[in-house]
Chains A and B, each alone.
Chain A
């Protein structure tokens, strides 16, 4: 069971969530503020933490800022846990680098499923080096290099890239990508896909506004290439 870092300022919610996660067999580190959470991530031996569950409205440093700071340190999955389901909050959270968001209140079952889905994304596939016009994917080692330079790509975006590039030229709808990458057995928000594609493009494309690798097919979804 993945080791979870829970950042949540409300004591009751933190205790209840920690209780539920422990009962499901997770190791849990809990922090009451963004600063404490970051401290836990930085401390020696924090390597065990595999996923962050992050509240958005925090005293002091808010969830968006914490999310950006974690992204500087690590590519681990971040699930935002927010009591605000407004469009602007969701979009901001996703653009700050979150892999998923969950609106409170959430049942233990759903949170559990989402944690496991986010961690599964890093499971390696069984194929090897592929060179796509300078973009080299190592499906076994889960590394991506471009022109010989390694790129740091968080698991959700990496999984998205792997799924798309497995069938170059094929068009994937957002819903299909949600199923493949986020493994939701119900459709979540297509904005998850758009936000992840946006972040992925910023890392792998020469010019993000004129993408070569991950191309938009208007009215349908996305495809990899043709190059």
Chain B
């Protein structure tokens, strides 16, 4: 249990409140009882002392000698429970321990000439010290004799201790009870709060159908109701968004598929036009070749659109195999007839990659460099323990910061004046999607000494991408 948590805070608060109320109830009572005990004990001891002194001083002569002082002390002491008596007459003292008698009390007895008493702590025990001057009968003049008695208050102290123990024994169960009540109260508050917290987490994790039961009519129930309404709203807007998105994706996929059928016929027929172009009049031949080229471009665009819509629908999957990466790159260059136009620097690297997708990425990067950059185009393959790097560099105009930022966007055209250029404008976007599917990335930047360099990084073992 965390002390800073709601449960800990409630517990501490309950215990503090119960302690405080117990203390405010018992401390004054205890104080009063203690005073009452001590006062009553004091009063009875003082009365007893006064009686003993009066009874004993009857046949006492002044000035006394040491022996009569001792006798008087013994007489007063006799009959009173464990009390020590001291009698003084000027320098004469009988007998007893004088150090228990505080000097202030002695002075008061002498100066005020009347009975005084004081509670003292002596040798670790409580005592009552009573002192009285002895006056001459009749005249009331002070005789110079002073009698002191030191009476133990230990029995009273024991009573008070017992009282304290009783109070404490009463408070402990109260505090424990408070703690239990605190835990119970915390439970009733915390259970719904925890349910809400768990539901919130599940909602955040995408389980939009999550709801919490609404119990009772308190603030927590209101909160639960609000939570459910929020979840309802969220679920319906997400459903709507998903529906729209799915519709848009389906539309792109359907359009692309529908385009494929007429394109299939056009592609077939245009090859006939191409083959016969040489025998046609120049204008007709030009028209035939244009139709053929545009048909091929349209076919590529539709292919790219279908590929992109597969990525958008998360329908693209990897088919990994152990590859000799250099061999794949060589094949990519040679099947497209680029071997003479590209300088290759390859090291031997084996990696688990999707061969077709690797080919698509590199073909797009090299094709892009050949189309939009300027020769010489170089392809460098290198590797680290974890990654494979393919760098495709050219000596063209390079990338401005603006172009580097957007170059992987769909249909991005670096040259805005040209509305159409060779290629669909989807190639780099598709290459980037393929890299991401592997858990890798393509970055484009300016190259030192002019030109642009695109760097493809792919994890070698493929674990990173198996999300």
Chain A residues with a Cβ under 8 A of chain B: 10, 12-13, 15-17, 19-20, 23, 83-87, 104-109, 111, 174-175, 185-187, 189-191, 219-220
**Residues B319 and A13 in contact, CB atoms below 8 Å apart:** no
Question: Which of B45-53, B82-90, B257-265, B341-349 contacts its partner?
Answer: B257-265
A16 to B269, CA, bound (A): 6
Known: A10-B261, A83-B257, A84-B257. A16 touches B306 (CB 8 A): no
User: Counting chain B CB atoms within 10 Å of each CB, which of A13, A84, A87, A105 scores highest?
Assistant: A105
**What per-residue 1/0 map shows which CB atoms of B298-319 lie under 8 Å from chain A?**
0100100010001000010101
- Chain A-chain B contacts (Cβ-Cβ < 8 Å), number: 81
Chain A residues near B299: list those with CB within 8 A: 105
Q: B272, A190: Cβ atoms under 8 Å?
A: no
User: Which residue of chain A has its CB nearest to the CB of B300?
Assistant: A105
* B268 and A13 contacting across the interface, CB-CB below 8 Å: yes
Q: A17-B268, A84-B257, A105-B267 are in contact. List 15 more A-B contacts (CB 8 A).
A: A19-B272, A23-B275, A83-B257, A83-B261, A83-B264, A86-B315, A105-B264, A106-B268, A107-B271, A108-B267, A109-B271, A111-B268, A187-B356, A191-B319, A219-B321
Within B332-379, the residues touching A (CB, 8 Å) are 335, 355-356, 359
Residue B97 is within 8 A (CB to CB) of chain A in the complex: no
Residue from A19, A189, A190 in contact with B268 in the complex, judged by beta carbons closer than 8 Å: A19
Q: Which residue of B lies closest to A220 (CB)?
A: B322
Chain A residue numbers with a CB within 8 Å of B6 are: none
User: With the chains together, A86 CA to B319 CA distance in Å?
Assistant: 13
B27 CB-CB contact with A under 8 Å = no
**A81 to B: closest C-beta gap in Å:** 8
Question: Could you jot down 8 A-B contacts, CB within 8 Å?
Answer: A10-B265, A13-B265, A19-B272, A107-B296, A108-B268, A186-B331, A191-B319, A219-B321
With both chains docked as a complex, state the minimum distance between the C-beta of B378 and any C-beta of chain A, in angstroms: 23
CA distance A50 to B133 in the complex (A): 148
Is A106 a contact of B267 with CB atoms below 8 Å?
Answer: yes
A108 touching B271 in the complex, CB below 8 Å, given contacts A83-B257, A84-B257, A190-B321: yes
Bound-state Cα–Cα, A25 to B321, Å: 40
Q: How many angstroms from the CA of A10 to the CA of B356 in the assembled complex?
A: 30
Output the least CB separation between A82 and chain B (Å). Answer: 9
CB within 8 Å for A105 and B272 given contacts A185-B335, A186-B335, A219-B322: no
Determine if B265 and A16 form an interchain contact, defined as CB atoms under 8 angstroms apart: yes
Residues in A neighbouring B275, C-beta threshold 8 A: 23
Q: For the complex, what is the distance from the CA of A134 to the CA of B317, rounded to whole Å?
A: 40
Is B322's CB under 8 angstroms from A107's CB? no
- Interface residue B266 (Cβ < 8 Å from any Cβ of A): yes
Among B265, B266, B306, B331, chain A packs the most CB atoms within 10 A around the CB of B265
Q: Are A87 and B264 in contact (CB under 8 A)?
A: no
Which chain B residues border A191 with CB–CB below 8 Å?
Answer: 319
**With known contacts A20-B272, A109-B271, A187-B359, A174–B321 Cβ distance under 8 A:** yes
Evaluate contact between B355 and A104: CB separation under 8 angstroms. Answer: no
For A10, the chain B residues whose CB sits under 8 A away are 261, 264-265
A16 contacts which chain B residues (CB < 8 A)? Answer: 264-266, 268-269
A190 to chain B: which residues have CB within 8 Å?
A: 319, 321, 355
Q: Given contacts A16-B268, A83-B257, is CB(A187)–CB(B355) below 8 Å? A: yes
Chain B hits for A23, CB < 8 A? 272, 275
The answer for the CA separation of A106 and B306 in the assembled complex, in Å, is 15
Kindly list chain B residues whose C-beta atoms are within 8 Å of the C-beta of A87: 315, 317
**Chain A hits for B310, CB < 8 A:** 86
The 3 A-B residue pairs with the shortest CB-CB distance in the complex, in nearest-first order: A16-B268, A108-B271, A105-B267
- With contact pairs A187-B331, A190-B319 given, residues A104 and B272 touching in the complex (Cβ less than 8 Å): no
List the B side residues contacting A83 at CB < 8 Å.
Answer: 257, 260-261, 264
A201 to chain B, nearest CB (A): 19
Contacts of B319 in A (CB 8 A): 190-191
Contacts of B264 in A (CB 8 A): 10, 13, 16-17, 83, 104-106
Bound form: Cα–Cα A187–B363 in Å: 13
A20 touches B265 (CB 8 A): no
Contact A104 B261, beta carbon cutoff 8 Å? yes
The chain B residue sitting closest to A88, CB to CB, is B315
* Nearest chain A CB to B261 CB, angstrom units: 5
Inter-chain CA distance A107–B317, complex, in Å, is: 27
Separation of A106 and B321 alpha carbons in the complex (Å)? 27
The residue of chain B having its C-beta at the shortest distance from the C-beta of A184 within the complex is B335
Q: In the complex, which residues of chain B have a beta carbon less than 8 angstroms from the beta carbon of A185? A: 335
Q: Which of B266, B271, B275, B310 has the most CB of A within 10 A?
A: B271
> Nearest Cβ distance between residue B293 and chain A, in whole angstroms?
12
Query: Which single residue of chain B is at the shortest CB-CB distance from A102?
Result: B264
The CA-CA distance from A187 to B327 in the complex, in Å, is: 12
